[in-house]
């Protein structure tokens, strides 16, 4: 499998590194507009090949916006992961990035699609739900080929905070012991951690943690990205990159894995004409199935609020959708 990662910043480089170490790709191409950066990061990754025992070839390419042949080395990619755009800074919301990132995402997707017309696209750039919607509308590709990475990351953060709360309550746990899912928008205010479905080795966490503790876990999950941005001075990159690589792996290996992803809804959950995070089965055909789980009253109301917020953000795309 050949994978192109657009954007050689922290997230993009992490995607490329995790893909290489997972050993299922034959080639990974790291693309950026900054001369030397993708080449240097690709070289750095390749210099771990013997130590980490992988045969994946990672190369770096500079592709300027005005170079019609810049994406030629990406030709024939099976999956394209888009990380391009401005990252968040402390005090910024993901939605604050919509103006500048819409132009960048539209440009790089069009260039990548020119050389890889059969590729699946995984969008990471923020605001992710809107960028996924923009990509689907701009390319007019079938919805199974356009996926947004948000739910996988948010769910991992949810599991981390649950594990911490469980350990504090006297039930020692690591994130690997916990199952939990986040749906809705990839936004500090509107993501929906599903407490009713969360378990510790099959035991519902509602039987182990107080409502106060669970409310605190939900609150920490929703601002998980902002917390890291405040600590790091920029957006997180290790978990986001690993999340995207895991989605690529599910497609490459036809894993039929249940992963919350941002996808286009066409009647599922009673909604149409937007992209938002829902439980999905990923396999060789990209999105293979949307799993319509039952939501309790509070979760359903919060999901509907999240849907409306996503529609409001999409309305700000304006000319980018034309």
* Residues with a known catalytic role: 186
Q: How far is CA 71 from CA 61, 67, 138, 184, in A?
A: 8, 8, 18, 33
Element (H, E) at 136: helix 128-139
- Quote the radius of gyration of the chain (alpha carbons, Å): 19
Spatial CA neighbour of 193 closest among 209, 170, 169, 172: 209
Whether the Cβ atoms of residue 263 and residue 136 lie closer than 8 Å to each other = no
* SS3 assignment, position 61: strand
* Helix, strand, coil % over all residues of the chain, rounded to 5: 50, 20, 30
| Residue 82: strand pairing partners | 6, 123
Residue 257: how many other CB atoms lie within 10 Å: 17
3-class SS of residue 1: coil
Q: Which residues pair with 204 in a beta bridge?
A: 199
Peptide bond into 127 cis (omega under 30): yes
How far is the C-alpha of 222 from the C-alpha of 1, rounded, in Å? 34
């Amino acid at each position: 499998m050949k994978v192109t990662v657009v954007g050689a910043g922290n997230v993009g480089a992490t995607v490329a590194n995790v893909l290489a170490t997972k050993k299922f790709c034959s080639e990974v191409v790291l693309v950026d507009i900054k001369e030397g950066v993708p080449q240097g990061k690709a070289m750095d990754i390749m210099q771990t090949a013997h130590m980490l025992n992988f045969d994946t070839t990672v190369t770096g390419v500079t592709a300027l916006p005005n170079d019609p042949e810049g994406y030629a080395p990406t030709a024939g990619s099976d999956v394209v992961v888009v990380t391009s755009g401005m990252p968040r800074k402390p005090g910024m919301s993901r939605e604050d990035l919509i103006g500048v990132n819409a132009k960048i995402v539209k440009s790089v997707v069009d260039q990548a699609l020119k050389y890889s017309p059969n590729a699946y696209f995984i969008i990471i750039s923020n605001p992710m739900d809107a960028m996924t919607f923009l990509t689907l509308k701009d390319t007019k590709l079938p919805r199974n080929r356009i996926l947004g990475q948000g739910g996988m990351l948010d769910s991992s953060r949810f599991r981390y905070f649950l594990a911490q709360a469980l350990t504090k309550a006297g039930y020692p746990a690591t994130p690997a012991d916990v199952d939990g899912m986040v749906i809705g928008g990839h936004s500090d205010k509107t993501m929906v951690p599903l407490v009713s479905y969360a378990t510790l080795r099959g035991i519902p966490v509602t039987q182990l943690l107080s409502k106060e503790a669970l409310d605190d876990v939900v609150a920490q999950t929703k601002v998980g990205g902002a917390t890291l941005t405040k600590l790091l001075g920029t957006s997180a990159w290790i978990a986001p990159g690993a999340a995207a690589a895991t989605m690529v792996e599910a497609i490459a290996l036809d894993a039929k894995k249940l992963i919350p992803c941002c996808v286009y809804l066409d009647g599922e959950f009673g909604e149409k004409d937007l992209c938002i995070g829902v439980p999905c089965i990923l396999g060789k055909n990209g999105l293979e199935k949307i799993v319509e789980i039952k939501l309790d009253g509070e979760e359903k109301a919060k999901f509907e609020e999240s849907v409306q917020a996503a529609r409001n953000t999409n309305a700000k795309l304006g000319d980018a959708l034309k």
